[in-house]
A and B are shown apart, each in its own frame.
Chain A
Amino acid sequence: MEGVLVLVVGACLSAGVAVAVAVAWLARTGLRPAVPAAATRQTASFRLAGVITGLVACGAAAASGALGRGLLLAGPVFGLCVLAGVMAGEISVRPAGGQTRTAVVEVRRVRDYLPRGLATAVTAAAAVLLAVVTVTTATARPDDLGRPGRVLLLSCGPGTWQARGPWPGSFYSVPLAAMVAAGLITAGGALRVVIRRARAGADPDAVAADDALRQRAARTITGACGILVAVPLAGVCLVSAGALLSSSCRPAWWIYAGWALLALLIAAGALTGWCAGVLLAPARAVTAARPAR
């Protein structure tokens, strides 16, 4: 069974890396509207700082925390740092001053800037994470040292019990839920900052370039949310599948549930790769002017 798990984890990592490379390459060669170079550099610097801080914090979180709890929280910690970087970058973009100020008569909405496909995938992953964690939390029992929500208990006959762990019960799910909720609230705040940030002018080319910059920020926020959700989802699926499939006296349906969780693990890995590709894709400082009419 361990061999199968290693194979699935390997497939998951491969899928993630492949998707990350594909997304980054497509973003590099895709035709995108112009982005002002100075603002792009400024926001990219903050974004990169967020990613680097996130990697360090993620490593620290993974190394700390008892019984794998830190490892489970590493993804959300990384996502939070990236979100903080995006917010700082957006706040750092100052509006054009001067005596004559211009503004376009428009209503900027979050949905105009969000990448639809990625946002849908991240929302679905969040819903799946919520569903899986709710079930695992409800079925978890205390371990042999009395720590609540750490193992799955299975009856193997009259008076015979088998404990399988670690199991993502409340021991893991409560801090995880707190971190993911904090991350999603931060993401909402970051999107508000992106929408409300002042435009640099009303000239059609400047508006198009500014829109491209906002779209880049919204993509990064969505990507960070994806990491925030997909990494713990992968961890929860891996641990749960391991517990379900390694039990010697399991009911038959546990096998199907275990394989379904492994399929989710691969999907979560692919989503993680997609989001990593979005986060790492360079935003080119294209200055080609589009036709005014």
Chain B
Amino acid sequence: MTARPSLIVDTSNPTPPYEQLRRQLAELIQSTALAPGDRLPPLRQLAADLGLAIGTVARAYRELESAGLVSSRRGGGTRVSATAPSLPDSERRRLLHHHARAFVRQAALLGADEQQILGAISQALAT
């Protein structure tokens, strides 16, 4: 069974919550974890789950709609656009390396050695 994609908002992060949401949803759409036609959570539901104001989530959805990634329809909710651009393989690889470098940097700052870093990745993959 594949776990459903999730969103994380860090309120201590200087990036505004709507931008954190927008960025993560855009990545999910471009990586096709959210396929064209998939419905995004209703505003109230997502706002309640994340403990955010409805306006914050609504702003993230508006930005995604402006970028052509989602389309909203009254009564039909917000869905991933059929024309939403997906990431080319080269860009996927670039992002993977980018996130790996960021993780390794953070782990090194914590004082972890190579074995501990690899162990943490194995543990994360297993859960």
A residues touching B (Cβ–Cβ < 8 Å)?
Answer: 95, 97, 99-108, 195-199, 202, 204, 207, 292-293
Chain A residue numbers with a CB within 8 Å of B34 are 105
CA of A199 to CA of B41 in the docked complex: distance in angstroms?
A: 13
Complex-state Cα separation, A103 to B21, whole angstroms: 11
Asked if A103 and B3 sit within 8 Å, CB to CB, the answer is no
- In Å, the complex CA distance between A249 and B127 comes to 76
Cβ-defined contact, B6 with A196, below 8 A: no
B1 touching A293 by the CB < 8 A rule? yes
Give Cα A97 to B51, complex, Å. Answer: 7
Asked if B48 and A105 make an inter-chain contact with CB atoms under 8 angstroms apart, the answer reads no
In this complex, how many residues of chain B approach chain A with their Cβ under 8 Å: the count is 30
Establish whether residues A101 and B40, one from each chain, have CB atoms under 8 Å apart when the complex forms: no
Instruction: Determine chain A's interface SS by DSSP, over half rule.
Output: loop
Shortest distance from the beta carbon of B62 to any chain A beta carbon, whole Å:
18
Residues of the A chain whose Cβ atoms lie less than 8 Å from the Cβ of B42: 107
Q: Which residue, A105, A108, A204, has most C-beta atoms of chain B within 10 A? A: A105
Nearest 8 CB-CB pairings of A with B:
A202-B6, A103-B49, A198-B48, A99-B12, A105-B5, A101-B50, A103-B50, A198-B49
Asked if B8 CB lies within 8 Å of chain A CBs, one says: yes
The answer to the question of B107 belonging to the interface, with a C-beta cut-off of 8 Å to chain A, is: no
What is the minimal beta-carbon distance from B70 to any residue of chain A, in angstroms?
A: 12
| B7 close to A (CB within 8 Å) | yes
Say yes or no: A107-B41 contact (C-beta < 8 A), given A100-B9, A101-B11, A293-B1. Answer: yes
Residues from 1 to 46 in B contacting A, C-beta threshold 8 Å: 1-12, 25, 28, 34, 39-42, 44-46
Q: Can you identify 14 A-B contacts, CB atoms within 8 angstroms?
A: A99-B10, A99-B11, A101-B8, A102-B7, A102-B8, A103-B41, A105-B5, A105-B25, A105-B40, A107-B77, A196-B45, A197-B48, A292-B127, A293-B2
B12 nearest CB across to chain A (Å):
5
Question: Which B residues are in CB contact (< 8 Å) with A104?
Answer: 4-7, 49
CB of B41 within 8 A of CB of A100, answer no
Q: In the complex, what residue of chain B is closest to A192 when comparing beta carbons?
A: B44
Assembled-state Cα–Cα distance A268/B37 (Å): 43
Closest to B25 in A: A105
Name B49's contact: one of A95, A97, A293 (CB within 8 Å).
A95
User: How many whole Å from B34's CB to the nearest CB in chain A?
Assistant: 7
Distance between Cα atoms of A196 and B52 in the complex (Å): 14
